[in-house]
Structure formats: structure tokens, C-alpha cells
């Protein structure tokens, strides 16, 4: 009985160690939660066409992406910032996609267009009622992301001059931002444009719609690049993965799922 | 059984016993190491010159604003301490009467069959993942409460407090029920024999006798409420306001760590500040839980004598 158990344990250990030995082709991507679902889809496709390759995708946020690329915890870091922070200067950065940030309001709200200045004033707390921004007499509920979020950093860097109003609600993901705005008639928030749906309404910014066309033609203001970060000399496997994402096939996947292609 | 077999069996048992002992010690070591790690990551606030340019112990208690990522970062812990207190108090106001009422009912008044039904159902509440409770509060309860009371802010401390109440009811109920059940039968028999009604027996004899244990249950629930993260992160709106108004959005210490730690610059002032919040939370819940267990032990000693 005991011998049997020992034998079983031994063989399980053997199987696991065999699994570990084969990780020559294993690549880990970590970072931006905005790009995570796309990376997962791309990894799946890559693994189908390259059997034997193992790609693991982890989230954690842009800061985690930079950190794990630096430390080597991940071969590829993902970051969705307008400007990469100074600690990322030793990494090689490739733009693989771009993402529009949509400013969203409740569908019950009659406002259709906001200027950059109005958005700044709303998030600064200078405009507190929708009637000052061309809407009904209703208190504005500002909804923002947590400090350090890639989406928030990009949003604030592009709009400039935002010192977020203290009353602003903070939600820690695109999904909860969407739910909060969908359930509050006076709410305004911002999220990745690939996640727009009929429960919320994207406003025009300075007269430009938040659509793929306007982002491609660079008419729409709120766009951030998505970087893949690697050590200065990435290995052949890592380079092949990045090349795949930049290939027409990879870029098509990115576009079909709501992001904008790199070029 | 042959002598050899017996010896073999003895060896087996001592092996298992040793294993269990090692597991128990490992668990204690793990807690201790976690504490050391949190200490290590929060201490640079006091000693590292580099970190102290960004943040010092004094800054954590200076002013009333928590805006860690800004051109002029402010790290005051007051709004989030107040937020934690506010939400915890609301949760307890909501959960304590419900949980203790349920405990008293199921141990004193309910028939055996009903009792068999109430206990597992209340304890089932503990099995609801807190993210589910939080999501329910974020989507459904917040809209429902707003439509009834016409609150200005949909996500506020009361909304989060009630959701948090649901999360701590099972903890309070379980411990309070144990305390009430521990009151010896003779107390009840004496009270009933003297002509007290069941209600008088329950409220004037059993509950006072179990009071230290019931207080322990409340404190235990409080420890849970202070440390609960996901419910408040989703349901409270997370605006770090220094405000005593329960109908405004609020941010707790746990929610601050959960929301910001994933995106923080590793090793920066903000990072160490978040670990300091963690250390403070650890100490607060440690003290609350310790007091709670001391009270509970005291009750058991009083009812059954000092020997265990």
C-alpha cells in the first residue's frame, strides 16, 4: 500500500519535472490589462500555427509590464502608455497596436459633444452640472481609474492639466467603469474604445467621433500606443512572436477585436 | 498482531504526527514571514533617504488628501482611515442585530428542524464570494437604494456598508451562536423554573451570560469588515473624501491597496506608502482579533471553569 503510494508520488514528480525540462520555447507576456485579451487571442493563434511553443499571458498593469521585462520575469512586457517612463529606456519598445480612449456617458444624457476644455473642467471639478456643458440640470458624477492605471495616465497626459476632483469615483477596471456609467444618468467616465457597447454612449471630442476611422486618420485625439517591451537583444523565439503580431495576420486579429493596427 | 507489525504501525503514526506538527509550524512561520515582509517594505518610510524625499511618516498624517499620483502628490491616510471606519461601522450597525437576532432565535426559540435549516443557510452566506456580493451591490443594490431614497451619489458608504454587512453576518452569527449554546442548560432551567417566560429567559439570562462571547463575535465581525476588500472596492465608489457623510462615496484602506498596488512604481514612495497602510491594517485586525479571542476564552472559563 505504502509502496504503491510512494511509487505514484514518484511518477507524478517525474511527469512534472519532464514538463519543466521542455520550457525552451516558453514565452511569457505580462502587463497592460487593456491589451491582455488581445495578447491571449494572439498567443492562441501563434500556438496553433507553432505547435511546441508555449505562450503564457499575464495581466498586472503597465507598471508590472515594464517591471517584469526589466527583471526578466517576462520575456515581453506590455504597456499602454503615451510616454514610457524613464526606467524603461533600456528596453526595446515596439508599437504593436493603438487604442482609442472613449469618453463615455449614460445613454439617457442628451450631450453629444464635449471640447477638450470641457472634459478638463469636468474632471477638474470646475464644471459640476451637466447644464454647464450643454445638457440637462443634473449633477455630474465623474468616474476615473485608479492612480497609476495606464488608461488614466494616458487620458490625463493627452487632455493635460487634470487634477482629478476629490469627489470622483474610482473604479479599478474598464468593466466596472462601464457598469457604473451605465447605471448612473449623470456619470462620465473613459475606457478603451474596443469595449464600447449599447449600455453607454461615447461622446464626440472636439467634434470628432470615437470611431476606428477617426482614430486611423488621427482626427480623434485620445489615442495611445500599445508597446511590447523586451530586453535590448530579444531571443529568436521572442522576436518571432513579435514579428507574428506585426504580420498582416496578427494585425488583422487586433483589428477584428476592436483595437487599431500599429501602422 | 506481531511485535514487528505493531512497531511498524507505531512508526507510521509518529510519522503522521510529525507531519502534522511540521504543517502547523509552517503555517505559523508563514504568517510571521508575511509580517516581516510587510515590515521590511514599509520601513523605508522611516529610514531610506531616497524614499523620504517623496514620503515621510509625518506626510502620512498631514492634511486630508490622498492623491498619490499627481504633480504634487499627497499621501494623507486620514480620508482612507475614516473611510474604513465609516464603512465598518455601517456594516456592523446593519449586521450585528441581524446576526445576533438570528443566533438567539436559532438557539433559543427555533424547533430542532428549523434550527437545522437556519444554521446552514446563514453559513452558506459565508460561501458567497465577496466579488459576487460586490458586483451585486455595484449593479443592483446601488440602483435600488438610489431609486428608493433618491440619493445624490449612487455608490456611497451606506451601499458598501450594507453589502459588507452581508459578508460579516455569517462570521458574527457562527461565533455568537456558539457562545449562546455554551450557556449551560441549568441557567435556562433555573430561569424557567422561577417562572420566567422563554423571552425573559433568553434576553435576561442567556444573552447576558453569553455577553463576553457575543462581544467577541461582534469584534471578530469587525476584524472581518475592516479587512474585507472586494466588496468595498466595488460598491463604495472609492473617492478618497475626508467626509463624515455616509451618503457620499468613500474609500477604505484595503480598497486603496487593492486598486493601486498593481500599478504602482516598484520601490517608489507610493509603493512603500501602500505597504505602510498594509502594516497598519495588519496591526488593527491583529489587535481586534486578539481582544475577541481573549473575550471568548474568558466566557468559556467563566461558564466551565478555568480548566480546559
Q: With 70 as the cut, is the pLDDT of residue A119 above it?
A: yes
pLDDT of residue B71: 75
Q: With 90 as the cut, is the pLDDT of residue B174 above it?
A: yes
Task: Count CB neighbours of B63 within 10 A.
Answer: 14
What's the number of domains chain B is made of? 2
Residue A80: CA count within 13 A, CB half-sphere: 31
A134 and A165 housed in the same domain: yes
A123 and A211 housed in the same domain: yes
Smallest Cβ distance to B249: which of A139, A169, A172? A169
B36 and B134 housed in the same domain: no
Q: Of A97, A90, A96, give the one whose Cα is nearest residue A234.
A: A90
In which band, very low, low, confident or very high, does the pLDDT at B230 lie, cut at 50, 70 and 90?
very high
Q: Is residue B93 part of a domain?
A: yes
Q: With 70 as the cut, is the pLDDT of residue A91 above it?
A: yes
Determine which of B80, B141, B233, B238 to mutate to test the interface with A (most A C-beta atoms within 10 Å): B238
A109 and A72 housed in the same domain: no
Q: Is residue A20 part of a domain?
A: no
Residue ranges making up the domain that contains A38: 27-99+225-261
Query: Which of the two residues, A202 and A10, has the higher pLDDT score?
Result: A202
Q: Of B63, B56, B88, give the one whose Cα is nearest residue B77.
A: B63
B24 and B172 housed in the same domain: no
B33 and B132 housed in the same domain: no
A208 and A257 housed in the same domain: no
CATH number of the domain residue A52 falls in: 3.40.190.10
**A106 and chain B in contact, CB less than 8 A:** no
For every residue of B110-128, DSSP letters joined together read S-HHHHHHHHHHHHHHTTS
Q: With 70 as the cut, is the pLDDT of residue B150 above it?
A: yes
CATH number of the domain residue B265 falls in: 1.10.3720.10
| B211-227 vs B78-104: helix crossing angle, rounded to 10 | 140
Smallest Cβ distance to B155: which of A64, A85, A169? A169
pLDDT tens-digit readout, B104-132: 999 999 888 998 898 889 888 888 999 99
Chain B hits for A183, CB-CB cut-off 8 Å, are 139, 142-143, 154
Smallest Cβ distance to A176: which of B138, B249, B262? B138
pLDDT of residue A148: 76
Check B259 against A172: CB less than 8 A apart: yes
Q: Is residue B51 part of a domain?
A: no
A139 and A200 housed in the same domain: yes
CB-based contacts of B189, cutoff 8 Å, min separation 6: none
Residue ranges making up the domain that contains B282: 57-304
B13 and B95 housed in the same domain: no
The alpha-helical segments, DSSP class H, found in chain A are 2-21, 36-49, 62-71, 116-124, 150-159, 174-182, 212-216, 236-246, 248-256
CB-based contacts of A249, cutoff 8 Å, min separation 6: A45
In which band, very low, low, confident or very high, does the pLDDT at B164 lie, cut at 50, 70 and 90?
very high
Check B259 against A61: CB less than 8 A apart: no
Could you tell me if B209 and B183 are in contact, meaning their C-beta atoms sit under 8 angstroms apart?
Answer: yes
Q: Is residue A63 part of a domain?
A: yes
B122 and B32 housed in the same domain: no
**B67 and chain A in contact, CB less than 8 A:** yes
A119 and A169 housed in the same domain: yes
pLDDT tens-digit readout, A135-186: 899 999 999 998 878 889 899 999 988 888 888 999 888 888 999 999 889 9
A208 and A113 housed in the same domain: yes
Determine which of A1, A79, A172, A200 to mutate to test the interface with B (most B C-beta atoms within 10 Å): A172
Q: Is residue A119 part of a domain?
A: yes
A152 and A203 housed in the same domain: yes
Q: Is residue A85 part of a domain?
A: yes
Q: Is residue B52 part of a domain?
A: no
What's the number of domains chain A is made of? 2
- What pTM, to 2 d.p., does this model score? 0.79
A104 and A209 housed in the same domain: yes
Residue entry with cell 422561577: B194
**B142 and chain A in contact, CB less than 8 A:** yes
Could you tell me if A197 and A230 are in contact, meaning their C-beta atoms sit under 8 angstroms apart?
Answer: no
Chain A hits for B264, CB-CB cut-off 8 Å, are 63, 148
Q: Is residue A169 part of a domain?
A: yes
Q: So what's the ipTM on this one?
A: 0.73
In which band, very low, low, confident or very high, does the pLDDT at B3 lie, cut at 50, 70 and 90?
low
CB-based contacts of A192, cutoff 8 Å, min separation 6: A34, A99, A100, A101, A102, A151, A174, A258
Q: With 80 as the cut, is the pLDDT of residue B159 above it?
A: yes
Q: Is residue B108 part of a domain?
A: yes
Region A45-67: mean pLDDT is 87
Pairwise CA distance, residues A66 & A63, whole Å: 5
A135 and A154 housed in the same domain: yes
pLDDT tens-digit readout, B239-296: 998 989 999 999 999 999 998 887 777 778 888 999 999 999 999 999 999 999 888 8
CB-based contacts of A168, cutoff 8 Å, min separation 6: A123, A125, A142, A143, A144, B239
pLDDT of residue A18: 46
Pairwise CA distance, residues A88 & A65, whole Å: 10
A74 and A111 housed in the same domain: no
A128 and A204 housed in the same domain: yes
Q: Is residue A2 part of a domain?
A: no
pLDDT of residue B1: 54
- Strand, coil or helix: A170: strand
pLDDT tens-digit readout, B54-113: 888 888 898 888 888 777 888 999 999 999 999 999 999 999 999 999 999 999 998 889
Query: Which of the two residues, A25 and B39, has the higher pLDDT score?
Result: B39
In which band, very low, low, confident or very high, does the pLDDT at B153 lie, cut at 50, 70 and 90?
confident
B172 and B236 housed in the same domain: yes
Check A64 against B259: CB less than 8 A apart: no
Amino acid at each position: 500500500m505504502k509502496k504503491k503510494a510512494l511509487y505514484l508520488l514518484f511518477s507524478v514528480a517525474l511527469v512534472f519535472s519532464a514538463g519543466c525540462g521542455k520550457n525552451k520555447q516558453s514565452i511569457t507576456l505580462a502587463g497592460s490589462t487593456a491589451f491582455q485579451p488581445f495578447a491571449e487571442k494572439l498567443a492562441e493563434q501563434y500556438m496553433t500555427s507553432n505547435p511546441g511553443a508555449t505562450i503564457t499571458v499575464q495581466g498586472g498593469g503597465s507598471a508590472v509590464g515594464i517591471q517584469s521585462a526589466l527583471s526578466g520575469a517576462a520575456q515581453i512586457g506590455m504597456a499602454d502608455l503615451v510616454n514610457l517612463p524613464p526606467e524603461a529606456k533600456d528596453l526595446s519598445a515596439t508599437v504593436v497596436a493603438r487604442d482609442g480612449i472613449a469618453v463615455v456617458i449614460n445613454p439617457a444624457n442628451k450631450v453629444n459633444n464635449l471640447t477638450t476644455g470641457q472634459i478638463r473642467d469636468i474632471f477638474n471639478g470646475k464644471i459640476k452640472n451637466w447644464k454647464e456643458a450643454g445638457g440637462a440640470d443634473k449633477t455630474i458624477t465623474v468616474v476615473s481609474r485608479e492612480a497609476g492605471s495606464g488608461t488614466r495616465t494616458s487620458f490625463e497626459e493627452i487632455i493635460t492639466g487634470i487634477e482629478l476632483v476629490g469627489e470622483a469615483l474610482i473604479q479599478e477596471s474598464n468593466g466596472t467603469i462601464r457598469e457604473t456609467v451605465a447605471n448612473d444618468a449623470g456619470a462620465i467616465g473613459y475606457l478603451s474604445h474596443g469595449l464600447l457597447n449599447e449600455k453607454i454612449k461615447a461622446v464626440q471630442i472636439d467634434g470628432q467621433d470615437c470611431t476606428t476611422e477617426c482614430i486611423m486618420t488621427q482626427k480623434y485625439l485620445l489615442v495611445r500606443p500599445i508597446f511590447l517591451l523586451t530586453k535590448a537583444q530579444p531571443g529568436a523565439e521572442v522576436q518571432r512572436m513579435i514579428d507574428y503580431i506585426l504580420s498582416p495576420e496578427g494585425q488583422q486579429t487586433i483589428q477584428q477585436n476592436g483595437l487599431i493596427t500599429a501602422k | 498482531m506481531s511485535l514487528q507489525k505493531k512497531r511498524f504501525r507505531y512508526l507510521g503514526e509518529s510519522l503522521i504526527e510529525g507531519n502534522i506538527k511540521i504543517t502547523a509550524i509552517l503555517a505559523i512561520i508563514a504568517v510571521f514571514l508575511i509580517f516581516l515582509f510587510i515590515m521590511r517594505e514599509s520601513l523605508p518610510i522611516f529610514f531610506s533617504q531616497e524614499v523620504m524625499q517623496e514620503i515621510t511618516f509625518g506626510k502620512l498624517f498631514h492634511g486630508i488628501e490622498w492623491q498619490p499620483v499627481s504633480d504634487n502628490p499627497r499621501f494623507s491616510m486620514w480620508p482612507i482611515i475614516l473611510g474604513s471606519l465609516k464603512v465598518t461601522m455601517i456594516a456592523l450597525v446593519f449586521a450585528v442585530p441581524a446576526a445576533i437576532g438570528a443566533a438567539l432565535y436559532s438557539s433559543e426559540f427555533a424547533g430542532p428542524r428549523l434550527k437545522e435549516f437556519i444554521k446552514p443557510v446563514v453559513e452558506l452566506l459565508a460561501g458567497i464570494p465577496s466579488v459576487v456580493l460586490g458586483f451585486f451591490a455595484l449593479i443592483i443594490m446601488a440602483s435600488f437604494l438610489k431609486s428608493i431614497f433618491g440619493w445624490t451619489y449612487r455608490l456611497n458608504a451606506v451601499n458598501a456598508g450594507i453589502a459588507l454587512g452581508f459578508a460579516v453576518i455569517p462570521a458574527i452569527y457562527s461565533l455568537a451562536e456558539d457562545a449562546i449554546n455554551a450557556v449551560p442548560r441549568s441557567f435556562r432551567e433555573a430561569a424557567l423554573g422561577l417562572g420566567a417566560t422563554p423571552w425573559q429567559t433568553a434576553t435576561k439570562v442567556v444573552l447576558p451570560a453569553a455577553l463576553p462571547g457575543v462581544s467577541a463575535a461582534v469584534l471578530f465581525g469587525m476584524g472581518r469588515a475592516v479587512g474585507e476588500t472586494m466588496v468595498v472596492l466595488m460598491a463604495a465608489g472609492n473617492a478618497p473624501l475626508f467626509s463624515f457623510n455616509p451618503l457620499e462615496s468613500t474609500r477604505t484602506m484595503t480598497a486603496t491597496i487593492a486598486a493601486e498596488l498593481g500599478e504602482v512604481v516598484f520601490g517608489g514612495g507610493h509603493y512603500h506608502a501602500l505597504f505602510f497602510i498594509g502594516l497598519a491594517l495588519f496591526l488593527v485586525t491583529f489587535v481586534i482579533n486578539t481582544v475577541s479571542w481573549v473575550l471568548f476564552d474568558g466566557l468559556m472559563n467563566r461558564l466551565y471553569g478555568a480548566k480546559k
